[in-house]
Amino acid sequence: MPNALELTGIRKSFDGFAALTDAHFAARWGEVHALLGENGAGKSSLMNIAAGLYAPEAGQLLVDDNAVRFSGPRDAARHRIGMVHQHFKLVRPFTVAQNILLTAPPPAEFQSHGERLREIERDIRNKASELGFEIDPSKRIDALSIAEQQRVEILKVLLAGARILILDEPTAVLTDQEAARLLQTVQGLARAGAAVVLVTHKMADVKTYADRVTVMRGGRTVATLEPGATSVSELVKLTVGESVAAASGFQPAKAARGPVRLSVRGLRSPASPQGRRVLDGVDLELHAGEIYGLAGVGGNGQGELAGAIMGLPGEATEGEIRLEGHGDLKTMPAPARRGLGIAAIPADRYGLALAGGLSVAENYAIGQVHSGRYGPVWHLRRGRIQSETQEAVRAFDVLGVRSVAQKAALLSGGNAQKLVLAREFGKSPTLVLAHSPSRGLDVRASAEVHARLRAARDGGAAVLLISEDLDEVLQLADRVGVMTRGRIAGEFAQPADRQAIGQAMVDHG
C-alpha cells in the first residue's frame, strides 16, 4: 500500500535546542497510524512539520510519494493535510460557524457571505450528526467547554477536505463512550481510504484502533511496530526508555477525612434568553483530606463551576460558596481567594495558567507578586525570584529548562503542567481545584501529576478533581460525583460502579 505521508531524516532546533535529531515516520493510505512518545519526545514538532507550521532544517517530506516543501499551513491544506492540535487554534470571540468558515473552501460564484455562512452551518450539523457530536454552529467559542472546542477543531479539519488527518490527543477530554465513537469514526475514515495519524498516550486506543504504531524518544524514531504483536508493557518501555508501572488503581487516603472544607449550595448562573442555566442548582461538599472526583460529559457546567469557585466574573449569580473559616466567598475577588490558600490547575494550561510569552521565572513568581513576597511591584527582587524558580524547577523535575529566563512557551505540555504544579503547590494549599490535570500528558508525567494530587490530599488539603477522563477519576477520587445539566446528578463512594457512573453521565432526565 502506498505511503500517504512520509518524513525521513528530519532535524529541527528551537533556540539552540534540538527538538528533532533523526526522525522518521510514514503513514499509509487506509490506515490508522499511532505516534507514541513522552512529552518532549518530538511528536508534536514532527507533526507540525507535516502540517506546514515548521520548516525542517534537514530531511525530506513526501505526500503521496511525491517530495514537497511547504511554506505554511495553507500549502499543507492544499495537499489535503489537516491537523487537530492539542492546544486549539480557534478564534474565541467568533462562533463555531465563523471559525470553520475561515478554513473552508471558497464560496461559489455570486454566493453572499450570509448564504455561505448558512451553508457552513448546515455542513456542521450534518458532519456533527455523523460523528455523534452535539454542536451549536451559532455558539461562540469562548462559551464552549474544552471538550466542545476539541470537537469544533475536528469538524474544521474534516470540512476543509483533509484526507491526511493528524489528531493530537483527540480523546484526552472525551468520555469513554465519546472516545470510542470518535475513534470508530476515525477508523472508518481510514478504511474509506484516508490516512490517519493518531498522536496519543492511551495505550488502549493504540491496541484497539491503530494498524501500526511508531515510537519516538528524545527527538528520534525508536521503532515502528504492529500493536497486535506488541504488549502494552513493551510499548511503555519503548516510550519511556525504562519500565514504568501501569497506572495503579484507586489508592485510598492515608488518614480519615477531615471537616467540610468547601461547601457549595444552590449555585446558579445567569439564565440564557431561552431560560437555560449552565449552573442550575449545584450542591457540593468537599472535605479536608479527600479527593472529590467530578465526572461528566463536557459542556455540562464543569468549567463554569471551576470558574465560579475561583472567582471568575459572571459565572454565578445565586447560591453560596463557603470556605472553612472564611464564610461565603461569592463576592470575594479572585486574587483574594488565592490568598486564602486556593490553588488552581485549569484545563487550558496555556490559556489560563501560563503566559507563554513570559519567562519560566515570571510565570512561577506571578502568583506571589501582589503578596509582597518579592518586594514592591516597582522594584521586584529578581534574584530571589530566579533562585526560588530554579529550586522549584528542580523539585518538580521540570525538564527542558535551560534557563529560567527562557519563555514558558518552549516547554512541552508535560513540563508546562509541572511548572503550574510547582507554582500552585509551592505554598501548601488548603484547597486544590484541578481541571483535567493530566490532559495530553504521557504515562510518566500523568503519574507524577497524580502523585502530587494524592500528596496534597494526604497532607490535609481538599482536592476537587474535574475530569472527562473516567479512568483518571476512578484512580484518584475518594468520592465520585457526576455533573449533568448544571447540577450534581449523583454521588458514588469508592469502590465505584463504573457502569452506574457511565449511566448517570448520559442520563439527562
pLDDT tens digits along 175-221 = 667 778 788 888 988 998 999 999 887 788 899 999 999 999 888 99
Looking at the predicted structure, is the pLDDT value of residue 304 above 60?
yes
Q: Distance between CA atoms of 325 and 197, rounded to whole angstroms? A: 51
Homologous superfamily (CATH) for 3-240 = P-loop containing nucleotide triphosphate hydrolases (3.40.50.300)
pLDDT tens digits along 306-365 = 989 988 877 777 899 999 999 999 889 888 888 888 999 988 888 788 998 999 999 998
Please report how the helices 382-395 and 413-425 are oriented relative to each other, as an axis angle in degrees rounded to 10: 120
Looking at the predicted structure, is the pLDDT value of residue 434 above 70?
yes
Nearest to 74 by CA among 103, 99, 48: 103
Q: Which three cell numbers stand for residue 23?
A: 526522525
Q: Distance between CA atoms of 253 and 360, rounded to whole angstroms? A: 33
Do 304 and 485 contact (CB within 8 A), yes or no?
Answer: no
pLDDT tens digits along 252-303 = 888 888 999 999 999 998 887 667 788 899 999 999 999 999 988 777 888 8
Q: Distance between CA atoms of 119 and 140, rounded to whole angstroms? A: 18
DSSP string, 302-362: HHHHHHHHHT-TTS-SEEEEEETTTEE-TTS-HHHHHTTTEEEE-S-IIIII--TTSBHHH
3-state secondary structure of 243: coil
Looking at the predicted structure, is the pLDDT value of residue 15 above 70?
no
At CA 347, angle to CA 411 and CA 249, rounded to 5?
Answer: 95
pLDDT tens digits along 91-112 = 999 999 999 998 887 777 777 8
Q: What is the pLDDT of residue 396?
A: 86
Q: Where in the chain is the domain with CATH 3.40.50.300?
A: 3-240, 260-341+429-506
Q: E strands, 157-279, where?
A: 164-168, 195-199, 212-217, 220-225, 260-268
Q: What is the pLDDT of residue 406?
A: 93
**Beta strand pairing call for 260-268 and 32-36:** unpaired
**Beta strand pairing call for 32-36 and 212-217:** parallel
- Average confidence score pLDDT of the chain: 86
Nearest to 24 by CA among 1, 53, 54, 56: 56
Q: What is the pLDDT of residue 508?
A: 45
Q: What is the pLDDT of residue 175?
A: 61
Do 391 and 419 contact (CB within 8 A), yes or no?
Answer: no
**Beta strand pairing call for 318-323 and 327-328:** antiparallel
Residue 246: pLDDT band (50, 70, 90) is very low
pLDDT, mean of residues 54-72: 94
Cell 507524577: give the residue. 448
Q: What is the pLDDT of residue 331?
A: 87
Nearest to 78 by CA among 192, 167, 162, 194: 162
Round the CA-based radius of gyration of the chain to a whole number and report it. Answer: 23
What whole-number percentage of the chain has pLDDT above 70? 93
pLDDT, mean of residues 453-472: 90
Q: Which three cell numbers stand for residue 139?
A: 455558539
Residue 173: pLDDT band (50, 70, 90) is low
Nearest to 498 by CA among 475, 479, 470, 468: 470
Looking at the predicted structure, is the pLDDT value of residue 506 above 50?
yes
Do 127 and 189 contact (CB within 8 A), yes or no?
Answer: no
Nearest to 138 by CA among 102, 94, 172: 94
Cell 518524513: give the residue. 7
Taking residue 252's Cβ as centre, other Cβ atoms within 10 Å add up to 11
CATH of domain 260-341+429-506: 3.40.50.300
First to last CA, the chain: 49
**Beta strand pairing call for 17-28 and 3-14:** antiparallel
Give the chain's count of helices (H) and strands (E). Answer: 16, 20
